[in-house]
Structure 1
């Protein structure tokens, strides 16, 4: 829901940062892997109830996740200007895979830390993972079929993304809230599972209508 607005706000800072780090030894894929490692590290820290460490790692991992695409697009523009062969789509594949791993790992890490530290129940976090599974299936299936049928949605990302109420921005915020308020983590998880489930339903309906 907020991704487009946030991208417009952060586009200039991200472009400036990407220009500053645009060095031969720094690659978009390297930033993606860095974000993944930091995201998994955040999950591990949350599991050990190192909440502020987990929050710092999580936020830095999301910055790296935002920079990888910005740097890739910057280099793609330069490649186009130089009339060189176009880049592959491997980076986009790596990026979405890393996001799914980081999101899922964080849910598990927060669940473990909250259940052991605050006696929170497991089932709200399981509902979040189920909602993530359905939501991810819907938009990945739509992106694949849309590509084959010539009905892609081009918003600068690697996939045809059906934006709805639960997108990347909301996910970052909610995962941050878990780490700031771990004693309320399971209640936040329950509300978030509902939001993601509604978003998944919206994507299923919108994707079906778009592909008819």
Structure 2
């Protein structure tokens, strides 16, 4: 819901950070890989009920996710043959899906073990994530083939909605900070993501008609 606003506000700070780390040993794909490892570490830490460790790893993972794109754009602007944007975008979105799904499972394992929380709210979140992912990946593929892409600087055509990247970062952080209430947060979040799914289905269908 606020991703476009945040992107405008964070573009310059992230570009400056990308300039600081723009050395040959650091590549966008390596940053994506680091973000993936950190995200998986957050999931494992949550499963072990190391909530604050999981929170730090989660936030560092999302910081890495925010830096790979600006660094890739900086390299391409300087040297157009520096890298394949398609391959990098594919790796980035794949890593995001792995991290999002695994962190939900990690929190579910930790919360059920520590507090006897039910599993079903986290299963609903995963179902909502599955539907959202299906919608925007299908839309991006068909939009590309039909010449109706939505270009906001990212590798795929993203349909906006109530729940986007920024809200996901916040909610995943909240259930690590307030782990005793993780399943209640998951219920609310599943509803929000489900509403976003409906929004994207309607918007995508209308855009492709």
1:86 CA drift (Å): 6.7
How far is the alpha carbon of 1:109 from its aligned partner?
0.1
4+ residue stretches of structure 1 with deviation over 4 A?
A: none
Equivalence for 2:175: 178
CA RMSD of aligned residues (A): 1.0
The question of 1:203 aligning with 2:200 is answered yes
Q: Distance in 2 between matches of 1:120 and 1:18?
A: 41
- Contact conserved, 2:38 with 2:58, CA < 8 A, in 1? yes
Q: Which residue of 2 aligns with 1:20?
A: 20
Superposition pairs for residues 1-212 of structure 1, below 5 Å?
1-80=1-80, 84=81, 87-212=84-209
| Count of residue pairs the alignment pairs up | 209
Q: TM-score of the superposition, structure 1-length normalised?
A: 0.97
Contiguous gaps of at least 5 residues in structure 1:
none
TM-score, length-normalised on structure 2? Answer: 0.98
State the Cα distance separating 1:158 from its structure 2 match: 0.4
For residues 27-58 of structure 1, the C-alpha deviation after alignment (integer angstroms, 9 at most, x for no partner) is 00000000000000000000000000000000
Q: Secondary structure in 1 aligned to 2:162?
A: coil
